Amino acid sequence: MTTPLFTVFTPTYNRAHTLHRVHESLLAQTFKDFEWLIVDDGSTDATAALVAQWQQEGRLQIRLVTQANRGKHFAYNRGVREARGELFLAFDSDDSCVAETLAVLREAWLGIPEAVRPSFSGVSCLCRDEAGVVLGGPLPASSIDGHPHKLLPQLGRHAEMWGIHRTDILRDHPFPEFDGEKFVPEGLVWNRISRRYQVRHINQALRIYHDSADSLSRKMVDLRHRSPRGSSLYYAELLQDCERPGQMLRCAANLARYQPESAATQQAGGGVPLRLRAWFWAGVALGQALRWRDSRRAHAARGLDA
């Protein structure tokens, strides 16, 4: 079997009602050298039957891997291990993309000079919503190279970007897996990669984001509280990159919000620069208040469900 250039990876859990968006987007691609790897994280809906139908049609090279429900990051690690492509594109089960996506990403990747390409992990593009609005606005140039964890804050960008990574680099940077926890912030891995590799950021919106009532983003606070080790590890490492007061305030607040012991440990270890220490403690106080508010809301919600 020939090795495709791209592995398009979709982790899914009970998304048979939205998975068609990915399928239709991939059928429309102008560049065809890819496989579609779906990791089903224990779905109980019609996902398996739907994918089997598409496989039988034979219009795409589709592989389905199933596993018990453990969380998106477990599915991601499985997908990276199973991938056959040189480049890896994570394509969420409720989104879509333009027909030229793979062609544009390939062109951008090959446009990086071979001599420096080993220092790059991939290519990143913009996202837009269903109305065509580019999330976060355009970049100031057609393409910008840099380490995302440093470059994007400098550009004032906080909106999500999307793109490809080299599969070999992803294999070297798996998501941590904690027993009993089903969530790890994706930024944990992206920041680790960003500290070692550059990314070419292109000023084209290729991904189409669909907001839905059952999306992970709408459940993020609860997920982080239920996965304190993964969440606190992300914010503890993020402290290394905080250079401005606002960054430190937000990071410390989230660290204290989801696992207050980690905030105390960071301070005791001297991990916070002296010039930002007051902002750190202000963030800890804010995080404790948010933790109390989250607890009150959770108790109220349980009361309504009773």
Mark whether 199 and 276 lie in a shared domain.
no
* Same-domain pairing of 156 and 60: yes
pTM: 0.91
- Residue 205 sits in the same domain as residue 252: no
How does pLDDT run across 255-297, given as a tens digit for each residue? Answer: 999 987 876 776 655 678 889 999 999 999 999 999 999 999 8
The residue from 182, 214, 246 where one domain ends is 214
- Domain with residue 64: its CATH number is 3.90.550.10
Can you spell out the DSSP letters for 253-294? HHHHHH-HHHHHHHHHTT-S-GGGHHHHHHHHHHHHHHHHHH
Q: Which of 214, 243, 265 represents a domain boundary (last residue)? A: 214
Those residues whose C-beta lies under 8 Å from the C-beta of residue 71, and which sit 6 or more positions away, are: 41, 181, 182, 183, 184, 227
Q: For residues 274 and 72, what is the distance between their CA atoms, to the nearest angstrom?
A: 37
Token pair for residue 226?
Answer: 């239920």
Let me know whether 195 and 241 are in one domain. Answer: no
Same domain assignment for residues 78 and 139:
yes
Asked, for residue 221, whether it belongs to a domain, the answer is yes
Same domain? 194 vs 223: no
Q: Is residue 137 a part of any domain in this protein?
A: yes
Any idea which residue has 């034979």 for tokens?
58
Q: Within 10 A of 53 (CB to CB), how many other CB atoms are there?
A: 10
* Residue that finishes a domain, picked among 166, 186, 214: 214
Helix (H, G, I), strand (E, B) or coil at 216: helix
The reply to whether 172 falls in a domain is yes
Q: What pLDDT is recorded for position 301?
A: 74
pLDDT of residue 159: 85
Same domain, 13 and 146: yes
On whether both 232 and 283 belong to a single domain, the answer is yes
Tally of domains within the chain: 2
Residue-wise pLDDT tens digits, 244-256? 899 999 999 999 9
Return the sign of the alpha-carbon dihedral for residues 281, 285, 287, 291.
positive
172 and 300 assigned to the same domain: no
pLDDT along the chain (306 residues), means of 10: 92 97 98 99 97 98 97 97 98 96 99 98 97 94 96 88 98 97 95 98 96 66 92 91 91 90 68 89 93 89 64
What is the reported pLDDT for 268?
A: 57
Exposed e or buried b per residue across 26-52, where buried means at least 16 C-beta atoms within 10 angstroms of its C-beta: beebebeebbbbbbbbbbeeebeebbe
pLDDT at 218: 55
Print the domain residue range for 256: 217-305
Same domain, yes or no: 198 and 223: no
With respect to residue 75, please indicate whether it lies within any of the assigned structural domains.
Answer: yes
Domain assignment of residue 1, yes or no: no
Q: How far is CA 14 from the centre of its chain?
A: 19
H or E stretch covering 48: helix 47-57
Same domain (yes/no): 142, 233:
no
The torsion of the CA quartet 97, 148, 246, 255, rounded to 10 degrees, works out to 80
Do residues 208 and 275 both lie within one domain?
no
Question: Domain for residue 86, yes or no?
Answer: yes
